[in-house]
Amino acid sequence: MRIGVLTGGGDCPGLNAVIRAVVRKGVATYGHEFVGFRDGWKGPLEGLSKPLGIPEVRGILPRGGTILGSSRTNPFKIENGVERIKENLAGQGVDALIAIGGEDTLGVATKLHELGVNVVGVPKTIDNDLGATDYTFGFDTAVNIAMEAIDRLHTTAESHHRTLVVEVMGRHAGWIALHAGLAGGANVILLPERKFDVDQVAGYVEKRFQHQYAPIVVVAEGAQPLDGQMVLHNQELDAFGHVRLGGIGQWLAEQLEAKTGKEARTVVLGHIQRGGTPTAFDRVLATRLGLQAIDAAHEGDWGKMVAMQSTDIVRVPLAEATRELKTVPIERYDEAEVFFGS
């Protein structure tokens, strides 16, 4: 077969490891040919492609980002988008697609499969919020980046006796905040799954100061106060209907400074969490997912997403994987709450 590969949505460490595994096994074991579609769904939509053979994937395992480029293009928001994709695939002799992405990219893949396109999905998101898989690659790297930042911030917070609010990514799911906060010894962790009481957070901060330590507050970008809403960077929507978040950390720092009388500063990690080389865990997970993805394509097992369940790599229906987001259970938040203010 001639198989197209694309990476869509926000980039993350591990994408290149998937591409490498798909191509290496696909060529060497099965004799398939590959074409790389550039910039997510924009590639098959506009016929933007590049050769993708073993020479093109040598040396990319430790590289962050994606050699194919990415975008947030939604073909279902573009006139005749699906028809154009089908025409371009046929014109380039492409028999199937392997789509690597998060909820939006795989949501498109699900609909295309229902419309007759041969597609296999690979879950990618630093947010770890895709259903049907225990972990997505990119998450472990993002957590480690955030944890290292929190470790460094402890020392400067202690030196200046100030509160430091660390804003991490997480629109609707707080997995990064939870894991990075626990691993980094944060004194308060605030998630999108549970609205927070600013006065209670201020109480935790004051209690921490009473112990002669400076507090670190980790807040996901999508977290909301009890009497408020998500803090938005602006009102513009992307092609998948998402607003651009940003500002909850600064808002919270101002509130805490006013309520406690202690200086508070904000650190927004932002896209630092997406960049750089993947951790060993993410390299191995991405490689295993890529190997299973090309197996599924070779066997014609279309409409499936490869997933990690326990320590096994399995296949699940794409529709199941994209049906709903995997959010942090309240029990997991209760575990973290033991350490708040102490």
Residues tagged in the binding site annotation: 10, 103, 125-127, 162, 169-171, 221, 265, 271-274
Amino acid at 101: G
Query: Residues near 247 by Cβ (< 8 Å), separated by ≥ 6?
Result: 231, 232, 233
What are the two backbone dihedrals, phi and then psi, of residue 327, each rounded to the nearest 5 degrees? -105, 170
Q: Which residues are annotated as a binding site for substrate?
A: 125-127, 162, 169-171, 221, 265, 271-274
Q: Which residues are annotated as a binding site for diphosphate?
A: 10
Q: Are 246 and 233 in contact (CB under 8 A)?
A: yes
Q: Mind telling me the catalytic residues?
A: 127
Amino acid at 113: H
Please report how many Cα atoms fall inside a 13 Å half-sphere around the Cα of residue 302, on the Cβ side. Answer: 16
Query: Residues near 58 by Cβ (< 8 Å), separated by ≥ 6?
Result: none
Q: How many CB atoms lie within 10 A of CB 262?
A: 17
What are the two backbone dihedrals, phi and then psi, of residue 100, each rounded to the nearest 5 degrees? -110, 115
Q: Which residues are annotated as a binding site for Mg(2+)?
A: 103
Q: Which residues pair with 268 in a beta bridge?
A: 167
